[in-house]
Amino acid sequence: MKPYVNLNIKKSIATIDFFHPQSNSLPSDLLNKIADAINQVSTKEDVKVVILKSSGDKTFCSGASFDELLQIKDSKMGKEFFSGFAKVINAARKCPKFLIGRVQGKTVGGGVGMAASVDYCYATKFASIKLSELSIGIGPFVVAPPIERKIGLSAFSQLAINATKWHDANWAREKGLFFEVHETIESMDDAISNLASKLSLSNPDSMRELKEILWIGTSNWDDLLYERAAISGKRVLSDFTKKTLKKLKNK
């Protein structure tokens, strides 16, 4: 199947669903489409709540596309690529509707940043997380602000420094990234449907004002995340990163 981002709206509930055949990895075009979809529903008065999910039952998101990372030739290209993550995070932050995250399986790097950028995140017990950026010579620079906002500096440091270690879904729940962890995808989907239905009946103005309060202190992200994208854009050009990516890709 080809990569896609689908947007469906039903009974005031918008669902944004993304897919990539390489374990739901994120090339720049997919990042831009996800950000565009969030921005689109932000302006729709008939939408009260948004669900962000990926297809498949094993991996929520494997992070940045290795194929595209290997194609980056200069710092400008690098900044443009990592700015895709900044666009998604800022779109989620600014969206006046509550975003519900659905994390059905493992998630890495930018996928963890995406999970941290929604307002209420569900997961299954199979949803282990990892920030692998440092192990390939970069660093989780762009996704750091939303992750640190959710789980705190200490827990973020654990993820960022021990970059090859998987942390299970219960660890992520205890730290505040996931709000609920379910035994099965079916149970998780029932819980998501229940919350989304309740929110769809709530006062949209009150939800908007509450979201503004919940995200207070993040207005500088319009500049910060793109500054971080520039850092990642330079780091990805190192010989260490290029060699590591090729090794991982050829496994």
Amino acid 29: pLDDT? 97
- The rounded distance, in Å, linking the Cα atoms of 96 and 69 is 32
Alpha carbons 70 and 172: distance in angstroms, whole number? 30
- Which one of 3.40.50.300, 3.40.980.10, 3.90.226.10, 3.90.1150.10 gives the CATH number of domain 4-188+196-200? 3.90.226.10
What pLDDT is stored for residue 24 in this prediction? Answer: 97
Looking at residue 249, its pLDDT comes to 77
Residues 148-190: pLDDT tens digits? 999 999 999 999 999 999 999 999 999 999 999 999 999 999 9
Token digits for 119?
Answer: 């307002």
> Which residue has tokens 């090794």?
247
Q: How far is CA 198 from CA 48, 56, 103, 193, in A?
A: 10, 26, 20, 9
Give the chain's residues under pLDDT 50: none
Which residues face 123 on adjacent strands?
Answer: 103, 181
Question: Any alpha helices (H) in 73-168, and if so which ranges?
Answer: 75-94, 110-117, 144-161
Placement of tokens 């789980």 in the chain: 151
Q: Quote the CA–CA distance of 101 and 111 in Å, as a whole number.
A: 11
Q: What is the sign of the dihedral through the CA atoms of 14, 21, 107 and 149?
A: negative
pTM, full prediction? 0.96
CB-neighbour burial class of residue 158 (10 A; exposed 0-12, middle 13-18, buried 19+): middle
End-to-end CA distance of the chain: 22
Label the pairing between strands 49-54 and 120-124. unpaired
